[in-house]
Amino acid sequence: MVKNGKDCSTEEKILEAAKKVFITKGMAGARMQDIADEAGINKALLHYYFRSKDKLFETIFAQIAQRFLPRINDIFNSELSINEKIEAFCKEYIDNVLKNPFIPLFVINEMNKQPEGFVKKLFGNEKPQLDKFITQINNAVKKQEIKQVHPLQLIINTMALCVFPFLAKPIIQWVSGMNQTEFRAMLEDRKKSVPQFIIHSIKN
Amino acid sequence: MVKNGKDCSTEEKILEAAKKVFITKGMAGARMQDIADEAGINKALLHYYFRSKDKLFETIFAQIAQRFLPRINDIFNSELSINEKIEAFCKEYIDNVLKNPFIPLFVINEMNKQPEGFVKKLFGNEKPQLDKFITQINNAVKKQEIKQVHPLQLIINTMALCVFPFLAKPIIQWVSGMNQTEFRAMLEDRKKSVPQFIIHSIKN
DNA sequence: ATAATGTTTAACCATTTGGTTAACAAAATT
DNA sequence: AATTTTGTTAACCAAATGGTTAAACATTAT
């Protein structure tokens, strides 16, 4: 069968549709029929390409995990300075999530529903390598280059500041009255303002 | 009927059970049977006390909203200084959520599923009153008491730092290897460390 | 005692939902 | 051109699920 150019293969259409529906309604709330409709195909085709709802879900999830995590790991393992790492992380993270804004909610959700299974699936049984970054921070603290700060707390804070706007988008938009474009602009801005915020708070 | 002391009325048992199940499985994933089992009663009793799944959900949600929001509003409308407000907010917020750790996920979730309806239900059609706090910040910026900072961004950052650990608990625990007690201690600590973090980052 | 009211249960029902089947269409292979 | 393989669909099925009903049980009022 000749693939029709761009949004070609049924498989891709399904994956795109499934992503959309899964994030909108959650894994449990998503209906195979919804996904089929969204993809503009018959429901049985879903089962032809991906045997079950769970398989479909897993496929999408695997894609996400493999796309996101290595680049983050690379940054923390690089030879950059603390400040540079924070800047690189925020840029990389926000950039990536801007392309797939549904991921944070998706991950947080499944994470909380299947704590053991999902976390292991996400990280493939080996934890993210933060050792280098952690010792880097501890050293900087000793040398009094930065304030006394627990490395893990710094990492949590950095993550928090990057992810939260994506999770809380509806509230933020409603409270602030931002439209889509303005909201996106704000996120763009945060690629720079968040690292600044963090760096200010730890610098001596 | 004489209520049997503490975990008495069936109604309360249902509400407790429903909270637990709703947060664990999400609104869509929660099964009435699960809730009934968790409460140790018959499924039909759920419908006797709360007519439908939606009603039950709404009841729980209303409880939460009414308990949380006013106190936050009070803080931002008070005569405290910026730093004091940030400190008060973080303490109040983390304290409250420590009592009901499931709320953030719950809110974020429903928020994203029913953007219009839920946000309005949560805030009862009137946005939180941030005006006073915002002008307070703008004034401080003018007087160069604090760094140039967009008030909304500051609020978002504060929220982010308070909520995120609750949302990401499973990952954090897994990555850091903290047990329940240690995790709770960390949250206790953040009641003080988060305000410090924020205040450091904005002070001139 | 008994009626009336409130609480709880088992059995049941209609609908929804993930998944299957068999038939049909379109490519690819021979 | 014939046939095998791949892609697609409509109709169907069994299980799960939210919700109902009628009857049993308990509690209080008469």
The Å distance, CA of B168 to C1' of D23, is 49
Give the pLDDT band of residue A22 (cuts 50, 70, 90). confident
Q: Which residues in B lie closer than 8 A to residue A168 (C-beta atoms)?
A: 108, 111, 156, 159-160
pLDDT of residue B88: 97
- Phi and psi angles of residue B149, each rounded to the nearest 5 degrees, phi first: -150, 140
B94 touches chain A (CB under 8 A): no
| Per-chain mean pLDDT for chain B | 88
pLDDT of residue B125: 66
Q: Which two tokens stand for residue A173?
A: 């938009």
Whether the CB of A175 is below 8 Å from some CB of chain B: the reply is yes
> Where does the pLDDT of residue A125 fall: very low under 50, low under 70, confident under 90, or very high at 90 and above?
low
- For residues B73-86, average pLDDT: 96
Of B193, B196, B166, B25, the residue nearest B97 (C-alpha): B166
Cβ atoms of residues B202 and B154 within 8 Å? yes
Q: How confident is the model over B175-185, as a mean pLDDT? A: 93
Nearest CA in chain A to B28: A29
What's chain A's average pLDDT?
88
Q: Residue A4: its pLDDT value, please? A: 38
Measured distance CA(A198)–CA(A60) in Å, rounded: 33
Task: Show the tokens assigned to A94.
Answer: 């926000």
Please report the pLDDT score of residue B2 as a whole number: 35
Residue B157 near residue A198, CB atoms below 8 Å: no
- Strand D: list positions under 7 Å from protein Cβ: 6-11, 16-22, 26-28
Q: Mark yes or no for CB contact B169/A112 under 8 Å.
A: yes
**Angstroms from A5 CA to nearest CA on chain B:** 33
B115 CA, C18 C1': Å apart: 28
Contact A62, A72 (CB under 8 A): no
The alpha carbon dihedral of A20, A25, A26, A29 has a sign of negative
Please report residues of A whose CB lies closer than 8 A to that of B24: 112-113
Biggest alpha carbon–alpha carbon distance for chain A: 65
Asked if residue B56 lies in contact with residue B16, where contact means CB atoms within 8 angstroms, the answer is no
pLDDT of residue A161: 98
The stretch B162-170 carries a mean pLDDT of 94
pTM: 0.83
% of chain B with per-residue pLDDT over 90: 62
Q: Are B165 and A163 in contact (CB under 8 A)?
A: no
pLDDT at position B171: 87
Whether the pLDDT of residue A116 is over 80: the answer is no
Residue A133's nearest CA partner among A185, A181, A81 is A81
Residue A201 contacts residue B200 (beta carbons within 8 Å):
yes
Give the confidence band of A16 by pLDDT, cuts at 50, 70, 90.
very high
> What is residue B150's DSSP assignment?
-
Q: Is the CB of B33 under 7 A from strand D?
A: yes
Selection from B2-11, B126-135, B145-154, B173-182 with the highest mean pLDDT = B145-154
Helix/strand/coil for A100:
coil
Contact (Cβ atoms closer than 8 angstroms) between residue B19 and residue B36: no
Q: Any alpha helices (H) in chain B, and if so which ranges?
A: 10-29, 32-39, 43-49, 53-77, 82-99, 103-113, 115-123, 131-142, 151-167, 169-176, 180-202
**Model confidence at A49: pLDDT above 70:** yes
The most confident of the ranges A83-87, A100-104, B98-102, B200-204 is A83-87
Is the pLDDT assigned to residue B32 strictly greater than 80?
yes
Nearest CA in chain A to B146: A200
Q: Is A133 exposed, middle or buried (0-12, 13-18, 19+ CB in 10 A)?
A: buried
Which residue has better confidence, A167 or A112? Answer: A167
Nucleotides on chain C within 7 angstroms of protein Cβ: 6-11, 16-22, 26-28
